[in-house]
Structure 1
Amino acid sequence: MNPILFSLLLLSLCPLAAEDYDPLSKEGKVETKLMSFRYGGREVPLKIYLPEDSNPAPVILLSHGLGGSREVGNYLGQHWAGRGFLVVAMQHIGSDTSVWEDAPLGKRRDAMMTAANGRTFQDRMRDVPATLDQLEKWQIEKGHVLSGRMNLERIGVGGHSYGAVTTQAIAGQRFGPLGARYADERIDAALALSPSAPRMGSAEAAFSGIKMPMMLMTGTKDGSPIGRTAPASRREVYPALPKGNKFELVLKDAEHHAFSDARDGGESDNPNHHRVIQALSTAFWESFLRGEQEAMEWLQGDGPEALMEKGDLWQKK
């Protein structure tokens, strides 16, 4: 066929490809592996979600919220790996299940609040780059289950609640009057579920330096189970981000737990919330970690709103 005619044919098919794009379908089986590593006397347990395809896959790091573990976020890890990503769920000891497991029932809330401190934040800031360093070692370790399985040139990071705080910091949020940063240049895109605005200083000063693609997800009832975070404060992050591949989803009536695996049977539980979270996050990763044009067209077009319900909000800049 004439090369010009062939190019025109491909262009004519692009809209159809975008219309046919379905971020909710799963493309392969998923295998999970539990492992851990140590650095500087500290252990980091991991849960690895391996895609069926053994070719090098983009990597997504997943950070749990306060009191969680590597088992949190299974509904996301399974789905993303089913789409061909290698997902690494990290467990941050000191702000994980160990905080509350042995505490009396009436003392668990206090134990959780005590664990949200500067020391555990600093531990998380060390865990993420240490995990990336370890993945680089395993990538070239002969005989390791992860050897040759990862595309470490394309890495995303995501997390919920305290994991969102971790994500924001690794993506480039500035902290304090001196603008301290914990950004890791190996990260290419970030997903914050239940993001947090800074408690001190302006949001603009904190977030204006985040240049990478970033997606935020929250809900109109997304407060904090143990703190005083108001749902409205989570909405302060998006306006403070610079323009360029930034996205925000606000789910009507979604509470804090709506973004985790747990469901409490309350009136705010909505099965469509997880569908929307899975779909939009998948299109985001496929756009910015794999460079898939049809995913980008879906994300920038009418695809997200077609899955959303009345009262949900979607915006991009």
Structure 2
Amino acid sequence: MSDAERADHQKAAGAPTMVVSAKPAVLSAPGRGEDLQVRVSAPATGRNLPVVVFSHGFGWSMNGYTPLADFWAARGFVVLQPTHLDSRTLGLTAEDPRTPRIWRFRIEDLTRVLDGLDALEASVPGLSGRLDRSRIAVAGHSWGAQTASALLGARILDADGVPGEDMSDRRVKAGVLLALTGLGDDLTPFAAEHFPFMRPSFDTMTAPALIIAGDHDQSHLSTRGPDWFTDPYTYSPGNKSLLTLFGAAHSLGGIAGYEVAETTDESPARVTLIQQLTTAFLRSALYPEDTSWKGAATALGEDLTPLGRLQSK
């Protein structure tokens, strides 16, 4: 890291800065049926800014997950949020011929965002020339976490258990996977019939990742309990950390938005912890000399009334 880059990074690690957000930035998407709309959130100042591409959960859009996107942007990250085809804002029906392949369109959306960084950078006045393309992470919640995991190396097993296409992306250095579903062996009959893409293999998900699961997250798609959401940590190799949040259901305290109806386990304190730990993880994953993650992990371990448990391998 150069002296200039180090100074920018240290500044970003300080007090939150003003955020500039622009939407929709539009990327041409031939064959998708809809151009790809992206929300871009960035610090108003600073150079050599790291990038986080965020994939929303089922039905959401670029307008969701402000508790995370705004927090990360205010602390030095450029956050790019595409709207996937399953978004309620687009209104695709079950009969739409694209519906069976939405899982794949989702992954292609994230790759398209990375391919379109020049256009996205130019879409926000004053942002051109300020992105650090060598420091890119992906993140996602629920279905979005599965989408993001593909760029980290996870693959989909076919009916015979053979891993499908490798859709990982070398540009992506790390990931934050929130409420990522587990192995497909434990799907309910309904899920197995209707969601064949929910048969992941984490054997090749080698990129560093922070996996966050709630110990009260009982999915109606699985025959197992909340431990299903720890599979991505258990069965993936390499540098991984698992944050298990006590009392958290699928919304993990409300990360999808403030006061949203889908939040069944509202907890501002839990959301604050996720904001702080994900930021620390991303900093240290993208800047190896950064000690934020080590400090955050130590602080959680020393907390007498912790909101969660952290383990790493």
State the TM-score, normalized to the length of structure 2: 0.79
Name the structure, 1 or 2, with higher relative contact order (CA <8 Å, separation 6+): 1
Corresponding residue of 1:162 = 143
The separation in 2 between residues aligned to 1:212 and 1:77, in whole angstroms, is 22
Corresponding residue of 1:215 = 210
Corresponding residue of 2:227 = 232
Structure 2 residue 291 is matched with structure 1 residue 314: no
Is residue 175–residue 206 contact of structure 1 (8 Å, CA) maintained in 2?
yes
Structure 2 residue 64 is matched with structure 1 residue 72: yes
What is the root-mean-square deviation in Å for CA atoms of aligned residues?
Answer: 3.3
> Which protein is bigger by CA-based radius of gyration?
1
State the TM-score, normalized to the length of structure 1: 0.78
Aligned residue among 27, 33, 38 for 2:16: 27
Q: 1:37 to 1:99 in 2, by over 3 A?
A: closer
Corresponding residue of 1:123 = 105
1:50 Cα shift? 1.1
Aligned residue among 30, 40, 43 for 1:48: 40
Q: 1:53 to 1:67 in 2, by over 3 A?
A: same
The separation in 1 between residues aligned to 2:105 and 2:128, in whole angstroms, is 27
1:243 Cα shift? 3.6
Aligned residue among 77, 82, 87 for 1:96: 87
Q: 1:215 to 1:204 in 2, by over 3 A?
A: farther
Q: 1:265 to 1:307 in 2, by over 3 A?
A: farther
Deviations 1:116-151 (A, max 9, x none): 964110111211111111114555x69965421211
Q: Which residue identity is paired with 1:131?
A: V
Is residue 39–residue 62 contact of structure 2 (8 Å, CA) maintained in 1?
yes
Give the number of the structure whose residues are more often helix, by fraction: 1
Is residue 216–residue 248 contact of structure 1 (8 Å, CA) maintained in 2?
yes
Is residue 138–residue 144 contact of structure 1 (8 Å, CA) maintained in 2?
no
1:135-284 aligned at under 5 Å gives the runs 135-139=117-121, 145-176=126-157, 177-180=161-164, 181-200=166-185, 206-224=201-219, 227-228=221-222, 230-244=225-239, 246-257=240-251, 258=253, 259-263=255-259, 264=261, 268-284=265-281
1:293 alignment partner, SS class: coil
Corresponding residue of 1:133 = 115
1:237 Cα shift? 1.6
Structure 2, unmatched stretches of 5+, are 1-9, 187-197
Q: 1:115 to 1:77 in 2, by over 3 A?
A: farther
Is residue 61–residue 158 contact of structure 1 (8 Å, CA) maintained in 2?
yes
Structure 1, unmatched stretches of 5+, are 1-20, 104-110
Identity %: 25
Q: 1:142 to 1:240 in 2, by over 3 A?
A: closer
The separation in 2 between residues aligned to 1:116 and 1:162, in whole angstroms, is 17
Structure 2 residue 300 is matched with structure 1 residue 304: yes
Structure 2 residue 52 is matched with structure 1 residue 60: yes
1:31 alignment partner, SS class: strand
2:28 alignment partner, SS class: strand
Q: 1:279 to 1:307 in 2, by over 3 A?
A: farther
1:47 Cα shift? 1.0
Is residue 58–residue 290 contact of structure 1 (8 Å, CA) maintained in 2?
no
2:215 alignment partner, SS class: strand
